[in-house]
Structure 1
Amino acid sequence: MMDVADLRREYTKGGLRRADLPAEPLTLFEKWLAQACEARLSDPTAMVVATVDSEGQPWQRTVLLKHYDAAGMLFYTNMGSRKAHQLDGNPRISLLFPWHMLDRQVHVTGRVEKLSTLEVMKYFHSRPKESQIAAWVSQQSSRISARGVLESKFLELKQKFAKGEVPLPSFWGGYRVVIDTVEFWQGGEHRLHDRFYYTRVGEGWQVERLAP
């Protein structure tokens, strides 16, 4: 096996100081996201979504953030997927934005609310038509015998919907993550990283510095 114990590097991108922190965490998140886009990071809106099943087993997967505002962060999925079943049983969720090239990460915790059909439909019809068709093809997280099964179904539905609008699947939806906490992590030299933790308190936010 590969020896990974000695793989390390120094974090030299710069620090994060309390004086730089806004009162609202999404203000800093928006700034960091814009900088991730400017740096041309691959998939800057990609976030690791963690859920917990009925046996207490954590699961993680990467999905794309599709919108954010003061009400929360939005993502979309097949409502028959593993993550959707787990969120039905436990609406608590964790999100992680791993912007490694900038020596940064943002960790969000909260709970999910299902989006309305109108919200889901508006986003669904903004997607490329091929992506809309792909939503119909895949029964997400179910077992399939071969990739050819998906490809055959895709071609079949592409022909079916060639001249018309692709309808919204009844099993496709989305979630709003109502945010409880946000942690900003900025790598620092000698492993003296900067970490600031926002916790929602009433209508405002409490901010604490955490040890690295």
Structure 2
Amino acid sequence: MIYKKYGKRMIDLVLSLLGLILLSPLILLLLICIKMDSKGPVLFKQRRIGINKEEFNILKFRTMKIDTPKDTPTHLLENPDRYITRVGKFLRKTSLDEFPQIINILKGEMSIIGPRPALWNQYDLIKERDKYRANEVLPGLTGWAQINGRDELPIKIKSRLDGQYVGKISFIFDVKIFLKTILSVLRSDGVKEGSSQSKIQ
């Protein structure tokens, strides 16, 4: 398929470059707010699983304090609220903490649309995705599973949805997911800090 082989990557490059340019004032403002709110670097790096299970460092705006245990889901932290910064709560609720992943997209480590990249130690999720060949495509900034439950989904259902995406990749399907993602973010659908499928810093 031409779109899957060439068009998807071309769209990723064009849209991510445009996004970086148009959103630069907002990104600068967020950088200042993060730096003023707490000590530590502005960006947060974390080992994730990419295409064909190759590891890469995903980029996010830092939303937690520097003494937070690494690679630990929020729900496994004792009193997680004490680790999340004031600005971090806002960034997580609005998903603005994901903005730096534009750089991952430009580097070819991610796509705009695709399965969300698993943590390197989420062995159950990685194994389940193997059943649906969901580890054989570039992970995405957003995906089919994200607009159908996001943090609320059990691993088996999330992996099955990722597999559905792999089998239906097309320009129209990606546009549908992109538009529905905007609506989900505006409504904060499926974001539940501290739940069993909570976001990981």
Q: By percentage of residues, which structure has more strand? A: 1
Common topology (TM > 0.5): no
Structure number with larger C-alpha Rg: 1
TM-score, normalised relative to structure 1 = 0.27
Q: By percentage of residues, which structure has more helix? A: 2
TM-score, normalised relative to structure 2 = 0.28
